[in-house]
């Protein structure tokens, strides 16, 4: 029978092909003549019921059926009727049947039609429609035959469609893999952007596309790279987050497929209206860094698949862009650090002060040329060597070590060099690095100081004898004959002033001698004896001012190496000051103590005290506190300078602790003499 032959023929042909277009054309080519139709069409549906393919075979070429028309037919036309009811339909005369939509010339020329569903497990996978320009051309028999053919075709159509799906996905996967490969091979941001657009154009066929990035400063989206019709928009187009389609996408972090931009309320006014637009956010970490945007002049141009592909590209683009940006930022940082380093190095190198830095392990990390010169180190040979092997100067090493042990790490001292020069060295701890010393050559200052002392002592020496003559002369006048009261007063003034001046000169001479080391012959001394002898003449003075002298001394102290006369001077100076600067009724306490390797003597009073800002200077020559209280009391300002000089000459230290109005404590300490 003809029917079976036909079915057999169809099944044979269909099973040999997986090409959907081929399959559809074959079905139409075989069925059109079998029912005497003039032309026919096939609509293939995907899972969501949307038209996936529309194939038309007809005798004369007419206008192609648009996607939109197919959509309408599926919605309310004959094919739609068939899909909804899952059964075939015959239209005897299209003019009397409202299921027939005359959308094209071809449709308008049609009078009869027959349509059947292609069913696969109760699901309509397609609709086959055959037509004829004359009415009443199809009957139930035709319908039966077509239903049989449709049943047989459904499997082939479904298989071909699934195969096409799979191959499409695979093509997509390969393309995306290529995308990531291509993007990961550059760290240059501009190149990344260009490549993303290349991919969108060449691999996926999106001709009009743009990349918008969120500007750090403004927080706005700015078009950074563009292809196709959007070309002119570069740098001109800006969107606030939330504004326009791209802004909406960035704000919501959602991909968007707008089938008809002119109908979309999100579209920014004034921007040229395109047909369709897809926009996908690019997200890195947890922030939106930009938007990929693709447009097309026609409406409904993009499918869900398109949006998926664009999203995948966007995800990879986001990674590549972020990577390029981080790389650029890191490069900038590295350059900035190198520049800062170079600047700092230049400063340190050029400094006239000698600078040495060691790490926490005591190894040299830096020594500038001035330091190399001072310590006779070959340039650069010091790197990472222990300090002691680089610097030989014992005084410097002592300072360095005592500073590493000091609580705050700040220390300073004068360092004599072998060549006769003197450095003033200050050490500072550097957090996270180690310790630093800065040394300044103070040789010329020392020399000036020496010259000044020499000058002063020469002058005072020369003043000594004339003063003596004046004093003796003045005292002699009254003895030579009677003088009246006015003359006596004048003579007394002269004697008083001369005595004062003589004291000053004596002190100056004394200071000069101490500084020159004259009269500093050392011997083992018992400080208890020294103190007691010094106090002999002072008890009278304290009593006269009604000041209690409290002396709390041990029987004996460890011996120190020193000059007993000079050390007695120190005690005398401290106690004299204490009595001078303490109002009557107060107390002066003298005590002694032994500490680690040292013997210390302290003189404490309940007097006027010294403000902190004055304390640092009272050991300087001629320094006297500028206050009404002090200026009423006679003095030269040399006493403590002599004290400091003497104690320094003994390798000891002096100090003061005081608070204005609360009394003062002066002290000195000397190293205990090594026992034999
Ligand atoms: N025990 C003290 N109490 C208060 N101020 C003192 C004391 N000892 C010293 N000073 C202050 O230090 C200054 C310097 O002391 P010094 O060198 O002995 O000079 P002079 O005793 O000649 O004033 C004094 O002028 C005074 O301002
Ligand atoms: Mg004094």
Please give the DSSP secondary-structure letter assigned to residue 202: I
Please say if the pLDDT value at position 235 is more than 60: no
Question: At 366, is the secondary structure helix, strand, or coil?
Answer: strand
pLDDT at 61: 45
- Shared domain for 14 and 69, answered yes or no, is yes
Q: What's this model's pTM, rounded to 2 decimal places?
A: 0.47
Is 511 close to ligand 1, i.e. is its CB under 6 Å away? no
Is 158 close to ligand 1, i.e. is its CB under 6 Å away? no
Residue closest by Cα to atom 8 of ligand 1: 577
Is 610 close to ligand 1, i.e. is its CB under 6 Å away? yes
Residue whose C-alpha is closest to residue 368's, from 62, 359, 377? 377
Report, as an integer, the average pLDDT of 253-261. Answer: 89
State the alpha helices, DSSP H only, in 185-303: 189-198, 244-252
pLDDT tens digit string along 338-384? 999 899 889 988 889 999 999 988 899 999 999 999 999 888 889 99
Please give the DSSP secondary-structure letter assigned to residue 96: G
43-57, 63-77, 329-343 — most confident range: 329-343
Please say if the pLDDT value at position 596 is more than 80: yes
pLDDT at 573: 96
Is 603 close to ligand 1, i.e. is its CB under 6 Å away? no
Please say if the pLDDT value at position 234 is more than 60: no
Higher pLDDT, 109 or 457: 109
State the alpha helices, DSSP H only, in 594-657: 612-615, 628-631, 639-649
55-64, 385-394, 426-435 — most confident range: 385-394
Give domain status of residue 360, yes or no. no
Report, as an integer, the average pLDDT of 69-96. Answer: 90
- Shared domain for 505 and 527, answered yes or no, is no
First and final C-alpha spacing in the chain:
140
Report, as an integer, the average pLDDT of 151-161. Answer: 84
443 CA distance to ligand 1 centroid (A)? 30
Give domain status of residue 347, yes or no. no
Structural element, H or E, at residue 568: helix 564-580
Residue closest by Cα to atom 22 of ligand 1: 635
- Shared domain for 630 and 496, answered yes or no, is no
Question: What is the CATH number for 7?
Answer: 3.30.450.40
Query: Which domain range does residue 15 map to?
Result: 2-167
179-188, 462-471, 637-646 — most confident range: 637-646
pLDDT tens digit string along 18-57? 788 888 888 888 888 888 999 888 888 877 766 666 766 6
Among 10-19, 483-492, 525-534, the minimum mean pLDDT is found in 10-19
User: 602-630 burial, b if ≥16 CB within 10 A, otherwise e?
Assistant: bbbbbbbbbeeebbeebbebeebbeeeeb
Q: Pick the last residue of a domain from 494, 516, 538.
A: 516
- Shared domain for 571 and 613, answered yes or no, is yes
Q: Pick the last residue of a domain from 500, 516, 532.
A: 516
Give domain status of residue 362, yes or no. no
- Shared domain for 436 and 570, answered yes or no, is no
Residue 362 φ/ψ, nearest 5 degrees: 80, 15
Structural element, H or E, at residue 30: helix 20-34
Higher pLDDT, 58 or 315: 315
Is 637 close to ligand 1, i.e. is its CB under 6 Å away? yes
Question: What is the CATH number for 563?
Answer: 3.30.565.10
Give domain status of residue 338, yes or no. no
Dist. CA 597–CA 575, nearest whole Å: 25
- Shared domain for 295 and 422, answered yes or no, is no
Q: Judge contact between 565 and 519, C-beta under 8 A.
A: yes
Give domain status of residue 313, yes or no. yes
- Shared domain for 296 and 432, answered yes or no, is no
Give domain status of residue 350, yes or no. no
- Shared domain for 78 and 145, answered yes or no, is yes
- Shared domain for 91 and 149, answered yes or no, is yes
pLDDT tens digit string along 453-472? 788 778 878 888 888 899 89
Q: Judge contact between 9 and 127, C-beta under 8 A.
A: no
Q: Pick the last residue of a domain from 120, 138, 167.
A: 167
| pLDDT above 70: percentage of residues in the chain | 95
pLDDT at 270: 52
**What's the distance, CA 434 to chain centroid?**
23
Q: Measured between alpha carbons, how far is residue 136 from residues 40, 60, 114 in Å?
A: 16, 21, 10
Report, as an integer, the average pLDDT of 438-460. Answer: 86
- Shared domain for 262 and 305, answered yes or no, is yes
Query: pLDDT grade, residue 60 (50/70/90)?
Result: very low
Residue closest by Cα to atom 27 of ligand 1: 625
Among 177-181, 189-193, 253-257, 561-565, the minimum mean pLDDT is found in 177-181
Dist. CA 572–CA 140, nearest whole Å: 142
- Shared domain for 192 and 295, answered yes or no, is yes
- Shared domain for 119 and 49, answered yes or no, is yes
- Ligand 1 pocket check: which of 609, 612, 624 to mutate, most ligand atoms within 8 Å of Cβ? 624
Average pLDDT, the chain: 87
Give domain status of residue 225, yes or no. yes
- Ligand 1 pocket check: which of 500, 614, 619, 639 to mutate, most ligand atoms within 8 Å of Cβ? 639
Number of domains in the chain: 5
Query: pLDDT grade, residue 117 (50/70/90)?
Result: very high
Please say if the pLDDT value at position 595 is more than 70: yes
Question: What is the CATH number for 488?
Answer: 1.10.287
Tokens standing for residue 518: 């004259």
Report, as an integer, the average pLDDT of 621-630. Answer: 92
Please give the DSSP secondary-structure letter assigned to residue 377: P
Give domain status of residue 345, yes or no. no
Tokens standing for residue 374: 């001072």
| pLDDT above 90: percentage of residues in the chain | 46
Among 72-76, 328-332, 556-560, 608-612, the minimum mean pLDDT is found in 72-76
574 CA distance to ligand 1 centroid (A)? 9
């Amino acid at each position: 029978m003809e029917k079976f032959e036909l079915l057999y023929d169809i099944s044979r042909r269909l099973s040999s092909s997986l090409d959907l277009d081929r399959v559809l054309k074959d079905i139409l080519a075989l069925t059109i003549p079998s029912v005497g139709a003039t032309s026919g069409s096939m609509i293939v549906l995907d899972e969501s019921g949307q038209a996936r393919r529309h194939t038309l075979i007809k005798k004369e070429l007419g206008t192609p059926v648009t996607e939109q028309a197919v959509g309408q037919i599926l919605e309310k036309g004959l094919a739609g009727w068939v899909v909804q009811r899952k059964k075939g339909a015959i239209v005897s005369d299209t003019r009397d049947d409202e299921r027939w939509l005359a959308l094209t010339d071809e449709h308008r020329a049609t009078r009869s039609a027959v349509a059947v569903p292609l069913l696969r497990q109760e699901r309509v996978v397609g609709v086959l429609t055959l037509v004829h320009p004359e009415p009443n051309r199809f009957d139930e028999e035709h319908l039966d035959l077509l239903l049989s053919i449709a049943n047989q075709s459904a499997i082939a159509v479904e298989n071909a469609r699934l195969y096409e799906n799979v191959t499409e996905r695979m093509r997509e996967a390969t393309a995306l893999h290529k995308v990531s490969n291509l993007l990961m091979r550059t760290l240059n941001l501009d190149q990344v952007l260009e490549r993303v657009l290349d991919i969108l154009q060449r691999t996926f066929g999106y001709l009009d596309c743009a990349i918008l990035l969120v500007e750090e400063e403004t927080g706005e989206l700015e078009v950074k790279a563009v292809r196709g019709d959007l070309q002119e928009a570069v740098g001109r187009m800006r969107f606030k987050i939330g504004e326009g389609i791209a802004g909406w996408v960035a704000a919501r972090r959602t991909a968007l497929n707008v089938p008809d931009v002119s109908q979309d309320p999100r579209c920014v006014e004034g921007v040229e209206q395109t047909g369709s637009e897809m926009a996908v956010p690019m997200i890195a970490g947890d922030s939106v860094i930009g938007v990929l945007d693709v447009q097309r002049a026609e409406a409904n141009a993009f499918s869900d698949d398109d949006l998926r592909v664009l999203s995948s590209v966007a995800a990879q683009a986001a990674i590549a862009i972020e990577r390029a940006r981080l790389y650029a930022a890191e490069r900038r940082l590295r350059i900035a650090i190198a520049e800062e380093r170079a600047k700092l190095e230049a400063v340190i190198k050029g400094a006239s002060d000698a600078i040495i830095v060691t790490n926490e392990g005591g190894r040299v990390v830096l020594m500038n040329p001035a330091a190399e010169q001072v310590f006779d180190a070959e340039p650069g040979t010091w790197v990472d060597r222990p300090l002691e092997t680089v610097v030989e100067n014992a005084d410097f090493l002592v300072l360095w070590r005592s500073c590493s042990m000091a609580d705050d790490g700040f220390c300073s001292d004068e360092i004599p060099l072998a060549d006769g020069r003197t450095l003033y060295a200050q050490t500072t701890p550097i957090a996270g690095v180690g310790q630093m010393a800065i040394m300044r050559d103070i040789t010329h200052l020392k020399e000036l100081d020496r010259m000044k002392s020499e000058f002063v002592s020469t002058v005072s020496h020369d003043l000594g004898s004339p003063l003596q003559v004046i004093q003796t002369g003045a005292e002699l006048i009254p003895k030579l004959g009677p003088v009246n009261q006015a003359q006596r007063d004048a003579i007394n003034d002269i004697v008083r002033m001369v005595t004062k001046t003589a004291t000053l000169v004596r002190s100056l001479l004394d200071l000069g001698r101490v500084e020159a080391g004259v009269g500093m012959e050392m011997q083992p001394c018992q400080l208890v004896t020294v103190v007691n002898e010094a106090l002999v003449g002072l008890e009278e003075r304290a009593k006269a001012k009604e000041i209690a002298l409290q002396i709390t001394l041990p029987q004996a102290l460890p011996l120190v190496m020193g000059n007993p006369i000079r050390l007695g001077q120190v005690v005398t100076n401290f106690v004299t000051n204490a009595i001078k600067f303490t109002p009557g009724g107060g107390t002066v306490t003298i005590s002694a103590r032994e500490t680690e390797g040292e013997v210390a003597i302290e003189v404490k009073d309940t007097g006027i005290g010294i403000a902190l800002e004055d304390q640092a200077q009272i050991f300087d020559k001629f320094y006297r506190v500028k206050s009404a209280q002090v200026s009423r009391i006679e003095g030269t300002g040399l006493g403590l300078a002599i004290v400091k000089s003497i104690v320094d000459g003994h390798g000891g230290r002096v100090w003061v602790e005081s608070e204005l109005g609360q009394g003062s404590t002066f002290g000195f300490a000397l190293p205990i003499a090594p026992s034999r």
